[in-house]
Structure 1
Amino acid sequence: MNGDPRLSRLLERYPELADHLDDAFRALLLQARPVNFGAGTVLFREADPCVDFLWPIEGTLRVYKRSEDGREVTLYRVNAGELCILSLANLLHGQRCAVEARCEEPVTGLSISGSDFQSAIDASPGFCRYVLGALSSRLDEVMRLVVDVVFRRLDLRLACLLGQMFERSRGKPIEVTHEALAREVGTSREVVSRILKEFEHQRCIRLSRGCIHLISAQGLEWFK
């Protein structure tokens, strides 16, 4: 199996697969087909049937929930080497999608059909352990989000989000709109703009068109 370049690449991105391989799991991987999606592609929408299982090899997916009035809140991101736990859960239970997923950048990966997924769950103890392990490892992340949404003030959540974004950019200005930040935290653009103005007034950040500059990382930490 390792002679197949696609599967060798999959094992590079998901080295934990090697710990769970049995004959049925190997047969499943040999059935995986390559897929490519452009940036902005919606992979599934709420209430869609969950029909495929995806291993992303390159790129990032944003998984989010949309309210009745059209607002969005980001639940988590799926990067190369990770799995979407909600689509996993839907496949396991034969349920329709409860969230939406969009490619933030071009995504390549390997995919198997839902029927092959169910057959592998029944036939491969290794694949079953792998899926349950993936669900368990990301459950904490989703629970933290629930706690944040229910218990933390919006300004604290926004300060935390900005801190993470500046950490990834190593303190360089981040190109992001107020609308995009509002989608991340599940509120309106007007509310985000008001909080950002307060952060600017406190000399934590400086706002410019489509861009946010870091002035004081310690100031943002104070809000958190």
Structure 2
Amino acid sequence: MSWIDQFPGLSSLGSVERELLLANSSVMSVPKNTVVFGPGKTPDHLLLLLEGTVRVEQLSEKGREIVLYRVRAGESCVMTSACMLAFESYSAQGVTESEARAAAIPLKVFDQLVSESADFRHFVFTAFSTRIVELFHVIEDVAFQRIDIRLAAKILELAQGDELIRITHQQLGAELGTAREVISRQLSEFQRRAWIKQTRGAIQIVDSGGLQKLAGN
């Protein structure tokens, strides 16, 4: 069993395509908080994540940021594949949120497989279309959803059943594409309602039911 088998979309590749990938790709380890790509850089490898998480975020000229999506184990980064297909540079950055391992497919091999392998093309474009749908949801939320509802939902999402989330107001602002001051005001209101308790660099959930009701869950 090779790293290829960690990706269901690649399981149907034939022996020739598998040998091409294994012979020309390398598995790399990346420390936590490493910028793996950034605006203006041109990709020369497609990274398929084996372990860890990569946060992909958009940065504005004024320093504002918004998290677009996360790449998790068993996924590829569609920002990279899109740039490789269009011969474009990155317009966003990717940062490892934990120590990560990834298989790096060189651009030349990527181009060859996209050209010659229907199964590989299906893998690339299925991932691309799925992520595009997710990004439309992000745009819809930012444009039309109230910030208090989005914040309640994000706190519950990040908590994953735990009561304590280690995150700053600035980081929450980046998650939701809004200013730190907006997050601070909303968190103060949540605390006034006894839904959360704020500590330095962390949020403790006191009443998840209140957050769930606001978030519509």
CA distance in structure 1 between the aligned counterparts of 2:99 and 2:61, rounded to whole angstroms: 29
Specify the alignment match of 1:9 in structure 2: 3
Cα deviation for residue 25 of structure 1 reads: 4.8
- The one-letter amino acid paired with 2:29 is N
The within-5 A match list for 1:112-151 is 112-151=105-144
Are 2:94 and 1:98 equivalent residues in the alignment? no
Give the number of equivalent residue pairs.
215
Cα deviation for residue 210 of structure 1 reads: 1.6
Specify the alignment match of 1:190 in structure 2: 181
- The one-letter amino acid paired with 1:206 is K
Give per-residue Cα distances to partners, 1:86-145, cap 9 Å, x unaligned: 211111111111211001111111101112211221122221121112112222211111
CA contact (8 A) 2:163 2:206 kept: no
Cα deviation for residue 77 of structure 1 reads: 0.5
- The one-letter amino acid paired with 1:114 is L
Q: TM-score, normalised by structure 2?
A: 0.93
Q: Secondary structure at the match of 2:11?
A: helix
Q: Which runs of 5+ in 1 are unaligned?
A: 3-7
CA distance in structure 1 between the aligned counterparts of 2:36 and 2:133, rounded to whole angstroms: 24
CA contact (8 A) 2:173 2:179 kept: yes
Specify the alignment match of 2:208 in structure 1: 217
CA distance in structure 2 between the aligned counterparts of 1:16 and 1:173, rounded to whole angstroms: 35
Cα deviation for residue 26 of structure 1 reads: 3.7
Specify the alignment match of 1:48 in structure 2: 41
Cα deviation for residue 172 of structure 1 reads: 2.2
Are 2:72 and 1:72 equivalent residues in the alignment? no
Are 2:82 and 1:82 equivalent residues in the alignment? no
CA contact (8 A) 1:24 1:123 kept: no
Q: Which runs of 5+ in 2 are unaligned?
A: none
Q: Once the two structures are aligned, what percentage of the paired residues are identical?
A: 32
CA contact (8 A) 1:39 1:107 kept: yes
CA distance in structure 2 between the aligned counterparts of 1:59 and 1:147, rounded to whole angstroms: 28
Q: TM-score, normalised by structure 1?
A: 0.90
